[in-house]
Amino acid sequence: MYDHKTIEPKWQDRWAKARAAEVDLGRAADKYYMLMMFPYPSGDRLHVGHGRNYILGDALYRYLRQQGRRALNPMGWDAFGLPAENAAIKRGVHPQDWTLSNIAVMKEQFKKWGILYDWSKEVTSCLPDYYRWNQWIFLRMLESGHAYKKKAPVNWCPSCQTVLANEQVVDGASERCGTMVEQRDLEQWFYRITAFAERLLAGLDTLTGWPEKVKVMQRNWIGRSEGAEIDFRLPGIGESITVFTTRPDTIHGATFLVLAPEHPLAARLFAEHPDREALAAWVEQVRSTPRIEREGENSPKVGKDTGAVAINPATGEEIPVWLANYVLPDYGSGAIMAVPAHDTRDFLFARQENLPIRAVYRREDTPADTAEWTEALIGNGTVTGVDARFDGSPEGKPTIRAFIDWMAGEGWGRAKVTYRLRDWLISRQRYWGTPIPIVYCASCGLVPVPDSELPVRLPYDVEFTGREGNPLSRNADFVNTVCPRCGGPGRRETDTMDTFMDSSWYYLRYLSPKDGARIFDPELAARWAPVDQYIGGIEHAILHLLYARFLCRVLHDQGLVPFEEPFKNLFNQGMITRFSEASGRIEKMSKSRGNTVSPDELIAEMGADTERVYTLFLGPPEDEVEWSDEAVSGAYRFLNRLWRAFEALDNAPGTGVADAELERQRHIAIKRVTADLDRFKFNTAVAALMEFQNAITRALEEKSASRLVVGEAIDTLCQLLHPFAPHITEEIWSQRGHTESLLETEWPKWDEAKLVRDRIEVVVQVDGKLRDRFEIAADATETEAKAAALASDNVARHLEGRVLVKAVYVKGRLINLVTRPA
RNA sequence: GCGAAAGUGGCGGAAUUGGUAUACGCGCUAGACUUAGGAUCUAGUCCCGAGGAAUCGGGUUGGGGGUUCGAGUCCCCCCUUUCGCACCA
């Protein structure tokens, strides 16, 4: 039996001693920068579901090493965040103590997995050495106008006790805790990511090494929309309202305006209305409605007439102005022109409220449910104003362009592009994060902390009560300070930064983690970044990966990095699922669902190599796969068979008759595993290695191959298997008498000439159906193959009563005899 | 509703260009070793039928049609599942 309990720690210690993963960034001739998502200590330890990311990465790393590439493979800790703070409240542990002890545990887990990280590049985001640079970036953003504070309706999570960015709200609920968020008007810090919308969009087209799926998600999230702004005069209050539309060509059919109830002009519009108090109350009600309820699929459209009118600039007619919940305050200008004849939502609303409908086009790709109506209305004369000039251009685009030009000439409309993307809300009302470096001074106002006073340290002594409000704001020593500008009394900002800030640039800090003078070394960044290969889960598609792309552009504009895209190639590993007793369903493996498997127990029982091989064998790495407790033993048996084959080598000399065939198998294995690893097909690479191992065992049992050839086969198997099962392969390799670590050996090469056989099996089909097979010389001609096929009894039986029409010969594979009835 | 990906044994899944469907593993069955085994090893295992057996015949990649000597793979229609978007003007 393979004694993994002794062997694995032995090799882990040796690798640690040799500091096997360390790269001298200044000297390495070759450069390849790979990265895995850095762990977030939301629990106190990692489970086998997490392992997929890191085991995959380590396998890739070891493969690259054997190919002679000394890749940079660093790891760090995304250590700030709510889970630690919540744990502090729940268990009475300080978040810092909790986090740092979790890090120690996880680091030990990585070691037990046999994962080689370059720990000389380690970063920990909750330490001032790191987070001071978050503050430094904040100050640069403030200088360039990319950071600002404003009062706005924001997402408040009552469970997390803080606001959240739009990206962190999924289906109306907090992405982290699942609680429904509320809308609150609060003054908050934002990063102006919207200013980069166009560049973020354009960059996606250059990311050929990213999964299409992630790019689509980012494009949707940015939500670029081309159209026009149109001004409508409001004669009642002497103002005008600007609407955004993608269909300015339908303006002749705009029979009313609809404003979001939150629109700044709303109150003035219904100021003279007899029911103005009821209207104001309704506006308040809409404002506090959770987004999900308001924007949900079946949410009813509710609207109120303000009593005011606007002038349609194209027709000169007075049209009513309404407020309705289906118009959103933060998209476009928060106001629309309603064209019920050509827009489904406007149509439904017009019909519900008995508002006029006027068609502009007869033939058009009008929404299906309004087209019929439009036709009917035109038919009975209810609808007027079909303009022959614009009727009948289904292409739309040239007409729209012409319209915008016309409106621009008239002076009340212009081309406009809007985005769905909102600015990134970065302030959080929580303790465990980077303090925002701002001081409020009674005489100077809002004063940034100068660079020389960074870092603004997060105080350790803070009271955790779980009560509403940031514990930082109750810490007088932190809050009370002096104004950096006038020296008078000041109060510190007590909001901390979104922890996604930490992960948005960490890949650069890895390159000079101890630099006390600079955020990172720009020369090393230019040389090593962007990251060549990033491996992480799909869940970060519009969170981390969007923020990191944004921040990369900010740093680029500061002249700190020469590139705009941080990650050249992205691989999304799928998640691992397992049956959960609690829900009775198969779900993502997670601590909260209680369906995790501990790697520590698994490693104690069957070894880290077993877990690694099984994790990679489980299924295609990009797919979601279900963990099976039973199937793990298959990987364990495989490694044990390898070990027994190695042990059997000494006392089982063979005849050598199968030497050529085993040698051929060896070359096949090299070719298959190499091709599979190059395509990230780890699961089929393992399968190929199992087949090769079976061939070796067979040769040993049959005593058909010579000791030398079997020994070489085992050596090659060790080299090929090393990325998957590093410990057992190192052990066998060294016991075989090799002195170098497998990490330093050269990845084996295959010889095409060795793959061919002199005799091959050819399949005979009659009319496409398999009837027989025979062996023939590999270079046999069609005539020879046909003769051999016809010599078969079974083939003859099927040719009976039929006439041979032709034969199709695929060299080295099959011959198909085509017949017709006699 | 729109967009994308996928559907193969009891299960996870293989199958570069159209060329032996079901590799590899789990599970299952039988046997060996054993005081015992939920350990280990060996053999068998897509389904149906015939045969004592080696074998032989038929069927099979969600369903239906097509192209082709030949289709899991290409084309058309339909069904299902998963993911993304969804009152975005």
pLDDT in tens, A205-228: 999 999 989 999 999 999 999 999
**Residue A365 reports pLDDT greater than 60:** no
Q: Which residue has the higher pLDDT, A179 or A118?
A: A118
- For the CA atoms of A459, A463, A465, A467, the dihedral, rounded to the nearest 10 degrees, stands at -60
A633 CA from B29 C1′ (Å): 20
Residue closest to B58, CA→C1'? A769
Question: Which of A373-387, A606-620, A779-793 has the highest mean predicted lDDT (pLDDT)?
Answer: A606-620
What tokens does A739 get?
A: 């002195």
Q: What percent of chain A has pLDDT over 70?
A: 94
**Residue A364 reports pLDDT greater than 60:** no
**Nearest 5 degrees, angle CA A489-CA A491-CA A492?**
135
Q: How far is CA A84 from CA A42, A88, A727, in A?
A: 7, 6, 34
pLDDT at residue A397, rounded to an integer: 45
Q: Which DSSP letter does residue A776 get? A: E
Closest CA to A707 of A632, A751, A661, A656: A656
Give residue-wise pLDDT tens across range A745-779.
999 999 988 888 888 888 889 888 888 888 888 88
Nearest nt (C1') from A637 Cα: B40
Q: What percent of chain A has pLDDT over 90?
A: 59
Mean pLDDT over A454-465 rounds to: 90
Three-state DSSP class for A323? strand
What tokens does A43 get?
A: 């629990």
**Residue A330 reports pLDDT greater than 60:** yes
Q: Which DSSP letter does residue A454 get? A: -
A770 CA from B58 C1′ (Å): 13
C-alpha–C-alpha distance, residues A733 and A721, integer Å: 11
pLDDT at residue A599, rounded to an integer: 92
Strand B-proximal residues of A, range 678-697, CB below 7 A, are 681, 683-684, 686-687, 690-691, 694, 697
Mean pLDDT over A637-654 rounds to: 85
CB-based contact A718:A737 (threshold 8 Å):
no
Mean pLDDT over A424-439 rounds to: 95
What is the C-alpha end-to-end distance of chain A, expressed in Å? 65
**Residue A387 reports pLDDT greater than 60:** no
pLDDT at residue A323, rounded to an integer: 95
A219 CA from B84 C1′ (Å): 11
- For the CA atoms of A511, A515, A517, A521, the dihedral, rounded to the nearest 10 degrees, stands at -20
**Residue A518 reports pLDDT greater than 70:** yes
**Residue A453 reports pLDDT greater than 60:** yes
A620 CA from B15 C1′ (Å): 14
* Confidence grade of residue A380 (pLDDT, cut at 50, 70, 90): very low
A33 CA from B7 C1′ (Å): 38
A798 CA from B64 C1′ (Å): 30
C-alpha–C-alpha distance, residues A75 and A536, integer Å: 13
Q: How far is CA A625 from CA A85, A598, A599, A600, A614, in A?
A: 32, 17, 17, 21, 12
Tell me how crowded residue A216 is: count the other CB atoms within 10 A of its CB. 12
Mean pLDDT over A493-510 rounds to: 96
pLDDT at residue A283, rounded to an integer: 92
Strand B-proximal residues of A, range 224-263, CB below 7 A, are 225, 227, 244-247, 260
Residue closest to B69, CA→C1'? A818
Strand B-proximal residues of A, range 313-332, CB below 7 A, are 325-328, 331-332
Three-state DSSP class for A256? strand
**Residue A595 reports pLDDT greater than 50:** yes
A572 CA from B41 C1′ (Å): 40
**Residue A780 reports pLDDT greater than 90:** no
Give residue-wise pLDDT tens across range A547-590.
999 999 999 999 999 999 999 999 999 999 988 887 777 888 88
CB-based contact A54:A64 (threshold 8 Å):
no
C-alpha–C-alpha distance, residues A464 and A216, integer Å: 42
Q: How far is CA A526 from CA A39, A73, A324, A532, A562, in A?
A: 26, 17, 52, 13, 6
pLDDT at residue A60, rounded to an integer: 96
Which residue type does A813 have? Answer: R
CB-based contact A80:A564 (threshold 8 Å):
no
pLDDT at residue A369, rounded to an integer: 46
Mean pLDDT, chain A, whole residue set: 89
Give residue-wise pLDDT tens across range A174-208.
887 888 888 888 899 999 999 999 999 999 999 99
Residue with tokens 């799909």, as numbered in its chain: A538
pLDDT at residue A395, rounded to an integer: 45
Please list, in sequence order, all residues whose beta carbon lies within 8 angstroms of the beta carbon of residue A160, skipping any fewer than 6 positions away: A82, A174, A176, A177, A179, A430
Query: What DSSP assignment string belongs to A735-775?
Result: HTT--S-GGGSPPP---HHHH--SEEEEEEEETTEEEEEEE
CB-based contact A407:A413 (threshold 8 Å):
yes
Q: Is the CB of A810 under 7 A from strand B?
A: yes
C-alpha–C-alpha distance, residues A208 and A488, integer Å: 54
Give residue-wise pLDDT tens across range A806-821.
889 888 888 898 888 7
| Parallel, antiparallel or unpaired: strands A576-580 and A625-626 | parallel
Strand B-proximal residues of A, range 513-552, CB below 7 A, are 542
pLDDT at residue A381, rounded to an integer: 47
Q: How far is CA A414 from the centre of its chain?
A: 37
**Residue A393 reports pLDDT greater than 70:** no
Mean pLDDT over A637-658 rounds to: 84
C-alpha–C-alpha distance, residues A277 and A190, integer Å: 34
pLDDT at residue A394, rounded to an integer: 45
Query: Can you give the C-alpha Rg of chain A in angstroms?
Result: 34
pLDDT at residue A382, rounded to an integer: 47
Phi then psi for A412, rounded to 5 degrees? -120, 15
Give residue-wise pLDDT tens across range A519-551.
999 999 999 999 999 999 888 888 999 999 999
Q: Which helix (H) or strand (E) holds A174?
A: strand A173-174
Q: Which residue has the higher pLDDT, A728 or A462?
A: A728
Residue with tokens 């380590």, as numbered in its chain: A58
pLDDT at residue A216, rounded to an integer: 92
E strands, A100-139, in order: none
**Nearest 5 degrees, angle CA A137-CA A142-CA A147?**
90
* Confidence grade of residue A24 (pLDDT, cut at 50, 70, 90): very high
C-alpha–C-alpha distance, residues A578 and A606, integer Å: 19
A665 CA from B70 C1′ (Å): 29
Nearest nt (C1') from A223 Cα: B88
**Residue A140 reports pLDDT greater than 90:** yes
Nearest nt (C1') from A766 Cα: B69
Strand B-proximal residues of A, range 730-759, CB below 7 A, are none
Give residue-wise pLDDT tens across range A405-424.
888 988 999 999 999 999 99
Three-state DSSP class for A629? coil
pLDDT at residue A362, rounded to an integer: 58
**Residue A3 reports pLDDT greater than 60:** yes
Residue with tokens 């070990």, as numbered in its chain: A643
Question: Which of A281-290, A468-477, A485-494 has the highest mean predicted lDDT (pLDDT)?
Answer: A485-494
Which residue type does A14 have? Answer: R
Give residue-wise pLDDT tens across range A691-724.
999 999 988 888 888 889 999 999 999 999 999 9
Dihedral sign computed on CA atoms, order A112, A118, A121, A123? negative
pLDDT at residue A583, rounded to an integer: 77
E strands, A331-401, in order: 335-338
A442 CA from B13 C1′ (Å): 68
Closest CA to A256 of A326, A320, A185: A320
Mean pLDDT over A38-52 rounds to: 85
**Residue A398 reports pLDDT greater than 70:** no
